[in-house]
Chain A
Amino acid sequence: RKEVEQDPGPFNVPEGATVAFNCTYSNSASQSFFWYRQDCRKEPKLLMSVYSSGNEDGRFTAQLNRASQYISLLIRDSKLSDSATYLCVVSGGSQGNLIFGKGTKLSVKP
């Protein structure tokens, strides 16, 4: 089983749609969880950290289920500017290194 698995997509959705991304991780000792967004030929930018209690930032909602080792990201009312690759990222172990999923590509169309 891969350490962090994501559906690679692409997800092609119309503006205004709601889209959900899922991610699973294999290391039950993982401590921190993140969603990063990466535009073409740019660096990853932190979108949000993910907590067991769930967290919301505007149109974006992230959820963590530790029992199922599952992370989700929900984007409501998609905008053209949301088009990017979304990376599920897990940190674990004493070295704190990040484990990246392969990313899910989102394309929002007019």
Chain B
Amino acid sequence: DTEVTQTPKHLVMGMTNKKSLKCEQHMGHRAMYWYKQKAKKPPELMFVYSYEKLSINESVPSRFSPECPNSSLLNLHLHALQPEDSALYLCASSQILAGEGNTQYFGPGTRLTVL
């Protein structure tokens, strides 16, 4: 089973709203990732968690706030977003962060529209 689930599938929010994206995996993976993907572009890494600790923050604006409550869950809290933040937000997980076993498996994504 290589399933990563994400909720919601679609989200429309205003610039003053606060919302959260959720990601879950039950594969025992200890590394989890958030990516942002705009149309016709490859995914861009936002955050990496390894053993529930933030490992990489790719200079993401503070209006995006990640949280890893436990080894199976990853959240992305959104606040005061801009229309240019509209994109597909992908969660991924891998057994470990680097080396053998770092094959990443992606969730179906949340398609976010900011009005």
Contacts and interface: CB of A to CB of B under 8 A. Distances in A.
Interface of A: 31-32, 34, 41-46, 49, 87, 91, 93-98, 100-103
Interface stretch (B14-22, B37-45, B61-69, B73-81): B37-45
Interface of B: 2, 31, 33, 41-43, 45, 48, 55-56, 88, 90, 94, 96-100, 102-109, 111
A87 B90 CA distance: 15
B48 A97 contact: yes
A103 B90 CA distance: 17
Contacts of B99: 31-32, 96
Nearest to A36: B106
B98 A91 contact: yes
A13 to B, nearest CB: 20
Contacts of A45: 106
A100 B5 CA distance: 22
A34 B106 CA distance: 14
A95 B55 CA distance: 8
A97 B90 contact: no
Nearest to B108: A43
Nearest to A105: B40
